[in-house]
Amino acid sequence: MRILGLDVGERTIGVAVSDEMGWTAQGIETIRRTSQEQDYARLLQLISQYQVEEIVVGLPKNMNGTIGPSGENCQRFARQLAERTKLPVHLWDERLTTMAAEKMLISADVSRKKRKQVIDKMAAVIILQGYLDAKSR
């Protein structure tokens, strides 16, 4: 059973998918957001292509655990995605995932330009891997 992991931002959506056993997360792409319809259309293509049965959306929380405007946008996005796909959609605390992805890429000596291109996909991998690890416990 494959699970899709998403890091939803204003301009991009980082996308990761699990292996069939649900053990590891791999980044697959960063969607450049153009319109809501095109965003969902691309996600539906990926869901079909990878035979996804479950979705995890990163939920950005403030450090004190409250949910701000970007968190509310992610909640809305997750609700709409669940309605469109009829799949279970889970929200996963993504505090500091982009920072962790950035540090990982810097330590791998990835150039600033390349980091900018893959940071959202890497954040999606970290979100999904956290979910998979917690689920396996």
Instruction: From 91, 89, 95, select the one nearest 123 (Cα to Cα).
Output: 95
> Three-state SS for 69?
helix
Tokens of 22: 């649900």
**Average per-residue pLDDT for the chain:** 89
Residue ranges of the alpha helices (H) in the chain? 36-49, 69-85, 97-107, 112-136
pLDDT in tens, 120-137: 888 899 899 999 998 887
State the pLDDT at residue 116.
67
Domain ranges of the chain: 2-136
State the pLDDT at residue 117.
67
Give yes or no for residue 25 having a pLDDT over 70: yes
CB atoms within 10 A of CB 8: 27
Instruction: Give the mean model confidence (pLDDT) for residues 36-43.
Output: 96
pLDDT in tens, 41-95: 999 999 999 999 999 999 988 778 788 888 899 999 999 999 999 999 999 988 6
Domain 2-136 sits in CATH 3.40.50.720:
no
State the pLDDT at residue 5.
97
State the pLDDT at residue 98.
67
Question: 22 with 131: CB under 8 angstroms?
Answer: no
Give yes or no for residue 104 having a pLDDT over 80: no
